[in-house]
């Protein structure tokens, strides 16, 4: 990227108010914002000369002051089950991953918010990559832009579009990149952007309690909590941020958020099942008690092993037993089907290529090497 390019405004990540402010700053009318947003987000245009309803004078002015720059696609893989995964390089030099999951009547895009993750949940391969940087709003919405462009003839805000749902469940903790994530989600829901219903844009958090409250001040997207343990002692081990924001504090923040929505909306509880760690009947009973006053639906996610994680996938019998105990207690429970495992696109498998600033990845690699040496000796 040249110095001249760096000084230009990237229009890809601007919300409607920000786009209107940009056009005013170059002496143009605010309505131009809507025209340009449609070209960018509805038709995937990144060349001002292709914007046929804009005068040549304005197109030339835009070339001098602005760019439409999506993230660089390093690779795209398509799974046998139709799942797609893009590896995308961002400005920091790191790579992040975006996954599209087709299901009957809908298509869900799993979007990353950070290069790596600072939280280091013990069972998540992304966390083992360490942390490099927050993604910009353009890099976050750019993942939707890239995916949408890959489906020929798929125009946002139309019935037959390919992307119907977006989940902020890719790499990173979205609430630790608050402003950029909120801007990107606003674009996802804007009719001039991707026109996705607020009920179909979901932010997933590990439980950054103060930011959940802040989120409720600025948006009303669906909320998911990565729970993974029914008590503080176990959750402290699996999700270390629990030491700072324990379960009672996090669940209270989630309830305040849901109450503020004022509609019949449910918190999604995500729970990764780990063999003999959090999948026993006693854990199900604790979970039943923990969530008894929380309007929620529960999504059970069987663990997908990665090298030297130290965890295993539970048996199908264990998964079924856990699910049935929750259902008998009156909860709405689903077990997430494993999709895209053959291209490492399944839940917990996203690793990208993070230029780690925390040195966590070095420590993890050293542990893996030591474990390999022990296996060889045995």
CATH (residue range 3-67): 1.10.150.530
Domain range summary for the chain, segments of one domain joined by + = 3-67, 72-365
Cβ count near 284 (within 10 Å): 21
Contact status, residue 273 vs residue 303, Cβ threshold 8 Å: yes
In whole angstroms, what is the distance from residue 221 CA to residue 16 CA? Answer: 18
Q: Which residues are catalytic?
A: 97, 347
pLDDT of residue 117: 78
Burial 153-166 (b: 16+ CB within 10 A, else e): ebbbeeeebbbbbb
- Superfamily of domain 72-365 in CATH is Aldolase class I (3.20.20.70)
Q: What integer pLDDT is reported at residue 231 of this predicted model?
A: 98
What length is written for the chain?
Answer: 378
End-to-end C-alpha distance for the chain, whole angstroms: 51
Report the predicted TM-score, pTM, of the whole model to 2 decimal places: 0.87
Backbone phi and psi for residue 269, each to the nearest 5 degrees, phi listed first: -100, 120
Distance set, CA 101 to CA 54, 85, 164, 272, 358 (Å): 36, 9, 10, 19, 31
Q: Which pLDDT does position 126 carry in this prediction?
A: 63
User: Exposed/middle/buried for 246, CB within 10 Å: 0-12, 13-18, 19+?
Assistant: middle
- Please report which helix (H) or strand (E) contains residue 72, including its range: strand 72-78
Please give the Cα distance from 166 to 14 (Å, whole number).
18
Q: How far is CA 149 from CA 42, 70, 122, 154, 256, in A?
A: 9, 11, 35, 8, 37
Query: What residue ranges of the chain have pLDDT lower than 70?
Result: 1-6, 126-129, 152-160, 338-378
Q: What residues contact 366, with CB distance under 8 A and at least 6 apart?
A: none
């Amino acid at each position: 990227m040249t110095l001249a390019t760096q000084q230009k405004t990237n229009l890809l990540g601007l919300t409607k108010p920000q786009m209107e402010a940009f056009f005013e700053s170059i002496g143009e009318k605010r309505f131009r914002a809507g025209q340009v947003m449609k070209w960018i987000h509805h038709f995937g245009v990144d060349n001002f000369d292709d914007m046929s309803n804009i005068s040549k004078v304005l197109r030339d002015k835009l070339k001098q002051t602005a760019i439409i720059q999506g993230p660089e696609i390093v690779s795209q893989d398509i799974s046998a089950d139709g799942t797609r995964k893009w590896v995308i390089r961002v400005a920091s030099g790191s790579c992040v991953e975006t996954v599209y999951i087709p299901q009957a009547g809908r298509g869900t895009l799993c979007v990353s918010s950070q290069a790596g993750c600072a939280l280091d949940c013990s069972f998540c391969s992304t966390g083992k990559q360490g942390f490099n940087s927050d993604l910009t709003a353009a890099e976050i919405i750019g993942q939707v832009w890239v995916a949408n462009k890959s489906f020929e003839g798929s125009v946002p805000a139309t019935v037959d579009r390919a992307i119907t749902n977006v989940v902020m469940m890719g790499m990173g903790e979205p609430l630790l990149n608050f402003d950029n994530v909120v801007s990107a989600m606003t674009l996802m829901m804007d009719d001039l952007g991707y026109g996705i219903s607020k009920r179909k844009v979901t932010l997933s958090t590990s439980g950054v309690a103060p930011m959940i409250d802040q989120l409720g001040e600025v948006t009303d997207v669906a909320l998911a909590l990565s729970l993974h343990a029914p008590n503080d002692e176990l959750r402290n081990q699996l999700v270390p941020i629990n030491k700072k924001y324990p379960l009672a504090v996090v669940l209270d923040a989630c309830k305040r958020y849901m109450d503020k929505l004022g509609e019949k909306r449910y918190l999604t509880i995500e729970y990764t099942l780990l063999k003999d760690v959090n999948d026993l009947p006693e854990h199900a009973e604790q979970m039943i008690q923990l969530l008894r006053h929380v309007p929620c639906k529960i999504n059970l996610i069987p663990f997908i092993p990665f090298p030297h994680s130290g965890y295993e996938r539970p048996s199908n019998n264990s998964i079924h037993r856990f699910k049935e105990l929750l259902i008998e207690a009156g909860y709405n429970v689903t077990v997430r089907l494993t999709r895209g495992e053959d291209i490492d696109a399944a839940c917990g498998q996203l690793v990208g290529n993070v230029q780690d600033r925390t040195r966590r990845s070095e420590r993890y690699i050293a542990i893996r090497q030591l474990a390999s040496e022990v296996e060889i000796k045995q």
